[in-house]
Structure 1
Amino acid sequence: MKKFDAIVIGMGPAGMAVSAMGAAMGLDILAVEKRKVGGECLNCGCIPSKALLKAGEANQIAQNLKKYGINAKVFTDTKETLGIVREKVGRINGKKMMKAFEKVTLLLNEGSAEFVNKNTIKVNGKEYSAKKIFIGTGTEPFIPPIPGVETLTEQNMLTNLNIFEQENIPATLTIIGGGAIGTEMAQAFSRLGSKINLIQMDEHLLPAGDKDAGILLEKKFKKENIGVYNSTKIEKIEVKDNIIYTHTSNGVFEAEKILIATGRKPVLEELKLENAGIKYNRKGILIDEYMRTNIKNIYAIGDCNGYALLSHAAMHQGMLALMNAINPLPLKFKRSKYFVPWSVFTKPEVAQVGLTEKAAKNKNLKYIVIKKDFSSYGRTVADGQPDGFIKVITNKKGKIYGVTIIGEAASEMIHEWILAIQKNLTMFDILMTQHSFPTISMLNKMVAEDWMMEKMNSTFLQKVIKFFI
């Protein structure tokens, strides 16, 4: 039995980070991946969804050239769209990407890994051992126990696992779930010709985020003829003559296919964690601040620990776990020190870091809200992208508790606020940072200016200023 410095189970974003960095450090790494390198993010998640969203955006622009003063007759055919999405994913997941793992011993498509003990795993009957083991097996779609859901087939029930494998854009599609997957796919398929109805139990789209952002996104969807039904209970699903009937508290919806986008669940059963004494619950593997399980030489990274189901969080956790694993000193890297943002790539985009207004209120914080509309800025109006806002949860001293951005380039603009919160910078620091004009990021500075103007709107302060002028 060959011994390694480290074993990595799962080659999604978390496992890829550990494998590539570990090999670069000279560690002897064994990586096990039962399907495809890249995990769900690259193969059937965030990357193909962006390719499909871009195709939908291109079609939307082509159909609306008149708003730019361009008169043209355009006929679009979307029959090849999904094929091109798959081709792009294949191009990314090629030799260039795999070069990062050429020093890694990779067991690909040889079966699942299962624990024998805390230092040993078994794959396809063969045993391998290591000083450190990193679990990064990710999650899979959660299918809710809706009466009748069991009658659906792989052909008419879609999840992120098979949605990009379709040959054609469905004419009608019912989507259950108003989170990132549900909203992105609703807009992408709608813009490519599908008639969409999105149904969810929550009161607004993107329920983990800011309510105002969810409401604005819903208004945009309705302008694009996407049906949105919030606070709606799903009673049962029926299939008759190849049509899916979704019975809800808001009526019955018909479609040729249905997309289930109701959350994720960890993939743990096949690991036989009990053989190594690893503790877990229904949300995932239990970890401490340093990404360690209760068995101190074993780390759980990425979605499988249930901490933050996001690809960038998984990559970051993988990096932290490896750094902690090789660090002999008691000073370790705590995951809670690093703020986790999220972005949704609809049009308009939505991005969030830190507390929402609702969360700040629930914590009884003394906060103020500074909100800046995209429509107040010449660049976004000139671009034809006036829908959106920045909402900052702050206080009179300028401490930043959280930021929500909805609008063009929100996913890029949010990074300035992540760094600010993580480094305990204030609204004054944002104000005093020169931003290139007329970038969309100038809105970050403008919202800080509004905070300062609000501070200046004090009778006492105005008297002091007049005294010294």
Structure 2
Amino acid sequence: MTKTDLIIIGGGPGGYGAAGYAARLGLDVIVIEQASVGGTCLNVGCIPTKTWSHEADILRARRTADPTATIDFQRVRRRQQEVIEQLRNGVETLLSAPSIRLVKGKAHFIDAHTVATDEETFEAKHIIIATGSEAKMPPIAITDTQRVMTSTELLAIDHVPESLVIIGAGVIGMEFASIFQTFGSKVTVIEYLKECLPTLDSDIAKRLRKSMEKRGIDFHMQAGVTAITANGVTFERKGKQQTVSAEAILIATGRKPCLENLRLEAAGIAFTAKGITVDEQMRTSCQGIYAIGDVNGQTMLAHAASMQAIIAVNNILGRTDHIDLSIMPSAIFTYPEAASVGLSEDFCEAKGMEYTCRKGFFRANGKAMAMEETEGMVKLIADSDGKVVGCHAFGAHSADMIQEISSLMCMGVTIEQLRDMVHIHPTLGEILHDTSMIS
């Protein structure tokens, strides 16, 4: 039996973030990870996909000078692995600190203070569960499995498929659609809902989809997939059945928390299929045990896991903070890029709220024109008191602009105060200031 101050199950952004923070504050920490450190985000998620997005940006830029330019996919794969390995080495260095021990293995609970792997047993007063999530498969008949992939398998593909069908128009599906269309695949997206990216303002989502359609991506909205066979993907739309064939098929219908084999019942930890139940301090139903990141099902974003890690460790040590998880920016790295924070106009209308919505357009911005990135729009939402409560955007560097608004929202800034803030010229950020000036 090895005793320590804190056991962390999972070495992803939440787990290694919690470990580093707790160690700096004086705790002895054991991190148990069954696979590579860095979690889904670093190894088969955020980082490799953003590496590919960058390569797609470079290819589009090259094509302005040479329309026949093509992708060297083997070089892309090498660079992808180099980036992953460099960042993974950084996480391993973090977890090699004197007060942190990294243990490789599958962890499960013995009781509320005891965790075991196949090799060892560990005991701690405090435990943080940070096991992340995995791809969720839809309840459809799949008789042809050779061409079917999740995002993990697609990131390991050794060539650019001639054609790609993507089931699901969420963040994962839309990012891969944008990437592979640029790389040269014929891309088809099939989505059950009326619009793509349901967490995004519907006006912004529609404009983004239309922009991607102009690039040659086919969308079938309000379409329910019924089967995947050797003939392709069969779906029903408006009472009619259609089949689309492709060399590769990506299932991107969401993710589910990794709960299996943890034996949560042994510690008396409450959970549902949506994740481990936690309160605002990330505390589970069992005293001393916390759950952060995708495994609690609250917000499946790497940066959410990182901030939840801080909240959990602060609670363990009795430290106070003012982290507001309701202000959670997010980005979709398609082309054009999209991002959002806070309330959407759809939400405000559905709740009958008094609000104002100001729209700004990239085409009127000097930097956007200089960059040849004039396609884009910003929607700035304020409540009846003029306080900024949301912002949704698509267009170049939308994530950077939304991050600015997110920071301002954390400070309770009003539209009037935003108007008084000087913005550098020429920048895309001026779009935000110009939008705030609209009466």
Quickly name the TM-score band, shorter chain normalised: over 0.9
Displacement of 1:377 in angstroms is 1.4
Displacement of 1:62 in angstroms is 1.7
* Unpaired segments ≥5 residues, structure 1: 66-71, 455-469
Q: Out of 96, 101, 111, which is 1:117 matched to?
A: 111
Aligned-residue Cα RMSD (Å) equals: 1.6
Q: Distance in 2 between matches of 1:429 and 1:311?
A: 31
Q: Out of 75, 78, 81, which is 1:83 matched to?
A: 78
Q: Distance in 2 between matches of 1:294 and 1:231?
A: 39
Q: Are positions 1:165 and 2:135 aligned together?
A: no
- Aligned-partner residue type, residue 101 of structure 1: L
Q: Out of 336, 339, 361, which is 1:373 matched to?
A: 361
Q: What SS is found at the alignment partner of 2:388?
A: coil
- Aligned-partner residue type, residue 206 of structure 1: L
Q: Distance in 1 between matches of 2:102 and 2:107?
A: 12
Asked if the contact 1:174/1:257 (under 8 Å) is kept, the reply is: yes
Asked if the contact 1:236/1:248 (under 8 Å) is kept, the reply is: no
Q: Distance in 1 between matches of 2:191 and 2:212?
A: 15
Instruction: Summarize the Cα distance change of 1:335–1:308 in structure 2 as closer, same or farther, 3 Å threshold.
Output: farther
Displacement of 1:164 in angstroms is 1.2
Instruction: Summarize the Cα distance change of 1:352–1:289 in structure 2 as closer, same or farther, 3 Å threshold.
Output: same
Displacement of 1:74 in angstroms is 4.3
* Unpaired segments ≥5 residues, structure 2: none
Q: Distance in 2 between matches of 1:188 and 1:73?
A: 17
- Aligned-partner residue type, residue 106 of structure 1: L
Out of 436-445 and 32-41, give the one that drifted further. Answer: 436-445
Displacement of 1:63 in angstroms is 2.0
Q: What SS is found at the alignment partner of 1:161?
A: helix
Displacement of 1:396 in angstroms is 5.5
Displacement of 1:216 in angstroms is 1.1
Asked if the contact 1:78/1:169 (under 8 Å) is kept, the reply is: no
Per-residue deviation, residues 141-190 of structure 1 (Å, max 9, x unmatched): 0000112x2x343x421112221111111111100010110000001011
Displacement of 1:57 in angstroms is 1.8
- Which residue number in structure 1 is paired with residue 278 of structure 2? 287
Q: What SS is found at the alignment partner of 1:167?
A: coil
Q: Are positions 1:101 and 2:89 aligned together?
A: no
- Which residue number in structure 1 is paired with residue 44 of structure 2? 44
Displacement of 1:422 in angstroms is 1.9
Q: Out of 378, 384, 403, which is 2:372 matched to?
A: 384
Instruction: Summarize the Cα distance change of 1:77–1:387 in structure 2 as closer, same or farther, 3 Å threshold.
Output: closer
Per-residue deviation, residues 338-363 of structure 1 (Å, max 9, x unmatched): 51111101121111111111111122
Q: What SS is found at the alignment partner of 1:444?
A: helix
Per-residue deviation, residues 297-356 of structure 1 (Å, max 9, x unmatched): 00000000011000000000001110111117xxx5476555111110112111111111
The TM-score normalised by the length of structure 1 is: 0.89
- Which residue number in structure 2 is paired with residue 68 of structure 1? none
Out of 181-190 and 248-257, give the one that drifted further. Answer: 248-257
- Aligned-partner residue type, residue 87 of structure 2: I
Q: Are positions 1:406 and 2:394 aligned together?
A: yes
- Aligned-partner residue type, residue 143 of structure 1: M
The 5 A counterparts of 1:162-311 are 162-240=153-231, 244-249=232-237, 251-311=242-302
Q: Distance in 2 between matches of 1:418 and 1:116?
A: 41
Q: Distance in 1 between matches of 2:67 and 2:431?
A: 36
Instruction: Summarize the Cα distance change of 1:337–1:51 in structure 2 as closer, same or farther, 3 Å threshold.
Output: closer
- Aligned-partner residue type, residue 113 of structure 2: N
Q: Distance in 2 between matches of 1:337 and 1:222?
A: 34
Asked if the contact 2:33/2:106 (under 8 Å) is kept, the reply is: yes
The TM-score normalised by the length of structure 2 is: 0.95
Which entry has the higher C-alpha Rg, 1 or 2? 1
